[in-house]
Amino acid sequence: MGERTVELEVLRYNPETDQEPRFQRYSVTCREEWVVLDALNHVKETIDPTLSYRWSCHMAVCGSCGMMVNGEPKLACKAFIRNYEGVIRVEPLAHFPVERDLVTVVDDFMAKLKRVKPYLIPKQEKPVSEGEYRQTPAELKRFKQYTMCINCMLCYAACPEYGLIPKFIGPAAISLAHRYNQDSRDGGRAERQEEIASTEGVWECSFTGACSEVCPEHVDPAAALQQVKIRSTLDWYTEHLMPWLEK
Amino acid sequence: MSRNPYVREEGLRWIFRHPRYLRYMTREFSCLFIGGWTLMMVWGLKQLAEGPAAWTAFLEFLKSPASVVFHVVALAFAAYHSYTWFNLTPQALPLQIGEEFVPGAAIAGAHFAVWAVLSIAILHFAGAF
């Protein structure tokens, strides 16, 4: 396995002493199979223990290590050094306030996630003794891709609408609402519509499609948002033109 | 420990962060030309209602070099607008038959086919051939 010395340019921000962030360069001897996260770990262990960033699983499952690598939202554990030439610039995820170095403030996303009720709201509660809520493979496939979301927030960093209009509920949260709306066992769509069919919901989306392009789990949030728009439009027509069809 | 989060202002730099944002802005920008062309048609209808002299003047205006250039540019933007939107239809209108989803190419392809048929029909009725 070959080694290569890579220049990492990392955004640093110390909330206790800095007025604004600055870039700091580190020379790191990287192995062929290293990802950006390996390089950051090497910096922290051998060069600069003050460098702060989030990570946990190192296998694209936990969604903690989202950051901008050369201006593109990436999971640091999935961004192979060998795919980059020259200086690699590492910054915290765009559109989120910087807590410290590469650590962002994610409170906004967590609050939005809670608002869209991303959990099963059964049509009819039944006692455990009556057995499971059953589902066919076709019904499962209808929403399965959306269950792959790991809440890494790369889609928020890619979304220009979220950057410009922070009140936008955004790709991941709306996709998760859609995931449950599409679930044959669920009866909570009307409750979720109040959040996701509002101005702050899908109607802030202008279908840039960047969310789907950057998703490390190949979820298609842009598709979810357009489908919610269509359903919401049909709801409106039903309500105003054919009210007798409303259940 | 006190918190003092820093908010980074991005301004309009995002447009140049990746080619996808330029493509997106081109698609959005194309609506200005389509809107402009539509306004021109409304103006043409008004000229038609005002009588033969006004209508002839409008037709002469359409033949002017500026108008021809505008039409060529507007047509290019309209084609780009339609092409990009039709390519997005599989995401907005997924079709599940049984367990499987219909391939996206078939959904976009159906839109392109209808687009072609309607365009040919309109050109035919307009006397182009």
Instruction: Report how many domains make up chain B.
Output: 1
CATH number of the domain at B117, please: 1.20.1300.10
Residue A125's pLDDT is 86
Measured CA to CA, the distance from residue A215 to residue A72 in angstroms comes to 11
Residue B101 lies inside a defined structural domain of this protein: yes
The distance of B120 to chain A (nearest Cα, Å) reads 29
Residue B34 lies inside a defined structural domain of this protein: yes
B1 touches chain A (CB under 8 A): yes
Tokens of A126: 């039944």
Taking only the tens place, the pLDDT of each residue in A217-236 is: 999 999 999 999 999 999 99
Measured CA to CA, the distance from residue A47 to residue A73 in angstroms comes to 25
A109 touches chain B (CB under 8 A): no
Give the number of A-B residue pairs with CB atoms closer than 8 Å.
76
Please answer yes or no on whether A21 and B8 come within 8 Å at the CB atom. yes
pLDDT band at A22 (very low <50, low <70, confident <90, very high): very high
Tell whether domain A107-245 is in CATH 1.10.1060.10. Answer: yes
- According to CATH, the superfamily of the domain at A3-104 is Beta-grasp domain (3.10.20.30)
Measured CA to CA, the distance from residue B124 to residue A2 in angstroms comes to 65
Which among A62, A191, A170 is positioned nearest to A119, based on CA atoms?
Answer: A191
Which amino acid, one-letter code, is at A193? Q
Tokens of A241: 């033109």
Residue A1's pLDDT is 61
The distance of A205 to chain B (nearest Cα, Å) reads 12
**How long is chain A?**
247
The torsion angles phi and psi of A131, rounded to 5 degrees, stand at 95, -170
B21 touches chain A (CB under 8 A): yes
| Residue A12: closest C-alpha in chain B | B6
Residue B3 lies inside a defined structural domain of this protein: no
Q: CA of A183: how far to CAs of A116, A173, A236, B53, in Å?
A: 15, 16, 22, 63
B19 touches chain A (CB under 8 A): no
Query: What is the mean predicted confidence (pLDDT) over B49-70?
Result: 96
Please answer yes or no on whether B4 and A15 come within 8 Å at the CB atom. yes
Measured CA to CA, the distance from residue B11 to residue A26 in angstroms comes to 28
Taking only the tens place, the pLDDT of each residue in A78-97 is: 999 999 999 999 999 999 99
CB within 8 Å of chain B, chain A residues 24-63:
none
Residue B119 lies inside a defined structural domain of this protein: yes
Tokens of A225: 């948002």
Q: How far apart are the first and last CA of chain B?
A: 78
CB B18 within 8 A of CB A70: no
Measured CA to CA, the distance from residue B80 to residue B73 in angstroms comes to 11
Q: Where are the domains of chain A?
A: 3-104, 107-245
Taking only the tens place, the pLDDT of each residue in A25-62 is: 999 999 999 999 999 999 999 999 999 999 999 999 99
Residue B84 lies inside a defined structural domain of this protein: yes
Please answer yes or no on whether B10 and A222 come within 8 Å at the CB atom. no
Range of the domain at B82: 13-125
Please answer yes or no on whether B5 and A105 come within 8 Å at the CB atom. yes
**How long is chain B?**
129
Residue A2's pLDDT is 86
Nearest by CB to B3, from A15, A160, A230: name it. A15
Q: Residue A4 is inside which H or E element, if any?
A: strand A3-12
Percent share of chain B, pLDDT over 70: 99
CB A116 within 8 A of CB A175: no
Please answer yes or no on whether B91 and A94 come within 8 Å at the CB atom. no
Tokens of A215: 């998703």
Write the CB contacts of A169 (distance below 8 Å, at least 6 apart in sequence): A112, A115, A116, A195, A196, A200, A201, A204
Is residue A166 pLDDT above 90, yes or no? Answer: yes
Residue B52 lies inside a defined structural domain of this protein: yes
Taking only the tens place, the pLDDT of each residue in A110-146 is: 999 999 999 999 988 889 999 988 999 999 999 999 9
Please answer yes or no on whether B96 and A141 come within 8 Å at the CB atom. yes
Q: CA of B29: how far to CAs of A92, A221, A222, in Å?
A: 30, 24, 20
Residue B113 lies inside a defined structural domain of this protein: yes
CB B115 within 8 A of CB B121: no
Is residue A73 pLDDT above 80, yes or no? Answer: yes
Residue B6 lies inside a defined structural domain of this protein: no
A23 touches chain B (CB under 8 A): no
Measured CA to CA, the distance from residue A184 to residue A241 in angstroms comes to 27
Please answer yes or no on whether A72 and B96 come within 8 Å at the CB atom. no
**CA torsion, points A119, A116, A174, A75, in degrees to nearest 10?**
-70
Which among A95, A234, A220 is positioned nearest to A145, based on CA atoms?
Answer: A220
Nearest by CB to B91, from A160, A206, A223: name it. A223
Please answer yes or no on whether B17 and A71 come within 8 Å at the CB atom. yes
Please count the other Cβ atoms lying within 10 Å of the Cβ belonging to residue A237. Answer: 10
Please answer yes or no on whether A98 and B5 come within 8 Å at the CB atom. yes
